[in-house]
Each structure stands twice: as structure tokens, then as C-alpha cells.
Amino acid sequence: MNITLQPDQEKLIAEAIQSGAYESPDDVITRALEILRGEEGWLHEQHAEIGRKIERALGQFERGEFLSDEASRAEMEKLKSTWMNEQRKR
């Protein structure tokens, strides 16, 4: 398979290699795909919970109860981080 990268993508790969974290473009792409798979897995596993939270948020909005954008994002990042850490332990 041949893939054509945009200049900004090539730059990101080069920066990742220069950081010393990766040895080759293949290593960078492999890690990026692992992260993507993990995020998609998390979304799939959390689908029902995300739906419940959206419904709860809509109800709060309708009642005039607002959660700040920052608080909502922080909670989702916390949940995602916890899940990702659990996945790494497996």
C-alpha cells in the first residue's frame, strides 16, 4: 500500500523521530494507529454511557442548569484516561 502524506504530516513524523521516541516512520504510524484503535474502542465501549450523559446534559440545559465547557471536557478526559490506563494494563 502506498500512502501520500501531506507536508504537515511528514513534519509531524519527522519531529516524532527527532524527539527520540520513535526510530522510524513505521514506528510513528504504528503508534498512531494503536492510539486510533484505542480511541475507537473506547468510544464503542462507552457508547451507551455517552448517550446517557448527552441526555442528562440536554435535560440540564432545558432546566437552565449549565455545566461549563471546561468541566465537561475535564470529566470526559478523566474517564478516557482511566479507560486508556486500564487498556495498557491488559
Is 13 domain-assigned?
A: no
Is 37 domain-assigned?
A: yes
Is 87 domain-assigned?
A: yes
For 42, the domain range is: 33-90
Is 16 domain-assigned?
A: no
Is 15 domain-assigned?
A: no
Is 78 domain-assigned?
A: yes
Is 22 domain-assigned?
A: no
Q: List the pLDDT tens digit at each of the 90 positions of the chain.
A: 899 999 999 999 999 999 999 999 999 999 999 999 999 998 999 999 999 999 998 998 889 887 688 888 998 999 999 999 888 887
pTM across the whole model = 0.54
Tell me how many domains the chain contains: 1
- DSSP symbols for the chain: ---PPPHHHHHHHHHHHHTTS-SSHHHHHHHHHHHHHHHHHHHHHTHHHHHHHHHHHHHHHHTT----HHHHHHHHHHHHHHHHHHHHH-
